[in-house]
Chain A
C-alpha cells in the first residue's frame, strides 16, 4: 500500500519586491501622515487651528460625554480644534527635525570622521571644541542665541544643531578610529588608494548604520527639545503652532482637561516610535550581511 503524503498546493500570492518585504507599514503610515500634514498646509485641516470659540472651549474627545463629532479630539482652553492643531503642528516638528538632524548629522559626521581618521592635531582641536560645546548647557546656549537672534524657528534649529553635532562627532570619531585599523583600510592605503576614496568608500558606508540609528533616535529628542524651548518662550511663538507649545499651554489644565496634554503627547510618541522603527528597518536593509535574512 502506498502512502500518499498530502502536499499542499503552493498558495499563489503576489509577492512584494524583495526590498519591501517585512517593511514596517504602520510606522511608514504614521510618518506619511505627519509629512502630508507638514506639506499640505491649512487646506487639509478639518478646522481652523487658530479659530477661537470660547463658547466651545474644553470640549472632550468625541467618545466622552459632551464630546462632539465636530471636534474629534476635543477643543482646548480657547475652543480651538485639537486635531487641527496637532496636524498643523506637525509642520513645525517636521521642519525642525529635518533641518536640525540634517545639519547636526552632517557637521558631526564630518568632524567625527576628520578627528578619527587624521588624529593628531586635527583630533585634538576638534575634541577640545566638542568638550567646550558639551560643557555649555544647551538651555543657556538657547537663552544667549534667543537674545541675539530673536526667538523662533531658526533659533530652535540653530540651538539644536549646535547642541547635537558634538554628540554625532564623538560617536562617529570612535567608530572611525576602530574602522581605520581594519585591514581593508590598511590594504587600501598599501595599494595607494587616495584618502578621499578611503573615507567615502570604506569608512562612510560602514558608519552609515550608526548615523541612521543616531538620526532616528534624534527625532524624538529634537521634538522634545523644541517643546522645551517653546515652553520656555525661546522657541516657536504664538500664533505658530508646535507640539511643544501645545504641551506648554496645556500644562495648567492637566487635572481638569486631560486631553489637552494627552493628544499632542500621543502625537509626539507615535512619531518618535515610528521614526525609531523605520530607522531599525532601514539599518537592516542597508547592511548586506542582514539583507538576506
Chain B
C-alpha cells in the first residue's frame, strides 16, 4: 500500500548539510503495521513528515498504491489527504485550544465533503463513541480533558474522514505509563475493526514488539535492520539492534544490562561518521566499517540487516 524507495532528506543549514534521511526504503502492505524505531534525531519523524507531505524528499520516491505522492495529480492528491491521516505525539499541541472538540473532529471531514448538519453531528458522535468518549464531549474545549482523553480525541479526528492509512508519530510517548496500554489497545481494536494500515514511529521497543507486524530500525537516517517483528526481536543481526534490545529494561532485579549496549551518544547528522555510521559505537567494529557503507543483507526471508559482519561470515 505504501512504499518508500530510497528516500533521502537533506537540510541545508549555515553549518553544512544535515543528512536527516539517507536512502531509506520500506514497504507497508495493506492492513499491516510498520514501526520505525530509533533514537531521537535518527530521522524517523522526518520520514513520517515526508509521508504526510509536510516535507518534500530530496531524493527517492514515496509511492501510495504504486503512485508517487510527489507527482500525484490534483484529484488523487486530494483523495490521498483524506485516505492518510495522522496522530501526533503531543495531545496538548495537536488540538487547537480555541475550537470545541466537535469542530476539531469535523475539520478533516469538512475538508473533503459537505455533509448536512445532522449527518455531521452523527459522524462526530460515532467516532467519539469508537474512541470511548461520550457524544457530549463534542461541546467541550480540549483543555477540559486529560492527556489520555485528548489523545483519544486526536484519534477520533484522524478516524473521522474514514482513512485507510494512519501515521502514528509516537502516539503514546507523551502519555502517562498507566494509560499508554489503554490507548494502544484502542488503536489495535480500531485497526482490526476497520482494516487500517499503520505506520508507527516509536522509540519504545517493548511497545513495538506487541503492536506492530514489522519493524525498521533506523540509525542516523539509514535502515540498520528491518523485517517481521518476531524474527528481528528473536534474532537481531545488526549490533545496533542488539544494543537496543539489550538496553530494554526487564522487570527482573537480577537482570544486568549487557555489554552490548551502545556506548556514547548518537553522532550528529551534520557530520556523520564515514562508512557505517554506527562504527564509533559498535563493539564489533573492524577495518571495513569506517571504509564503506554496508549494503542491506538478506539474513532470512524479508529480514535484512546492513552490517559488514554479515558480509564477512557469508563471504
Contact = CB atoms under 8 A, between A and B. Distances in A.
26 contacts: A183-B88, A183-B89, A184-B93, A184-B104, A186-B52, A186-B54, A186-B86, A186-B94, A187-B86, A187-B94, A187-B108, A187-B157, A188-B107, A188-B111, A191-B81, A191-B107, A191-B111, A191-B161, A192-B78, A193-B107, A193-B108, A194-B111, A197-B111, A201-B99, A206-B96, A289-B143
A197 B103 CA distance: 13
B97 A192 contact: no
Interface in B143-167: 143, 154, 157, 161
A191 B160 CA distance: 11
Indicate the member of A183, A201, A289 with the most B CB atoms within 10 Å.
Answer: A183
A interface majority secondary structure:
helix
Indicate the member of A186, A187, A192, A193 with the most B CB atoms within 10 Å.
Answer: A187
Interface in B29-76: 52-54
A288 to B, nearest CB: 4
Contacts of A189: 53-54
Nearest to B169: A183
Interface in A263-293: 288-289
The 3 A-B pairs of least Cβ separation, nearest first, read: A192-B81, A183-B94, A191-B108
Interface of B: 52-54, 78, 81-82, 84-86, 88-90, 93-99, 104, 107-108, 111-112, 141, 143, 154, 157, 161
Interface residues of A, number: 19
Contacts of A201: 96, 99, 107
Given A183-B90, A288-B141, A190 B54 contact: yes
B141 A190 contact: no
A188 B93 CA distance: 13
B259 to A, nearest CB: 39
Nearest to B84: A190
Contact of B85 (A183, A184, A190, A205): A190
Contacts, number: 69
A182 interface: yes
Indicate the member of A191, A192, A194, A197 with the most B CB atoms within 10 Å.
Answer: A191
Given A201-B99, A202-B96, A192 B82 contact: yes
Given A190-B84, A289-B143, A206 B98 contact: yes
Nearest to B90: A183
Contacts of B53: 189-190
Interface in A172-196: 182-184, 186-194
A288 B97 contact: yes
B49 to A, nearest CB: 8
Interface in A186-227: 186-194, 197, 201-202, 205-206
Contact of A190 (B86, B89, B90, B96): B86
A289 B98 CA distance: 8
B114 to A, nearest CB: 13
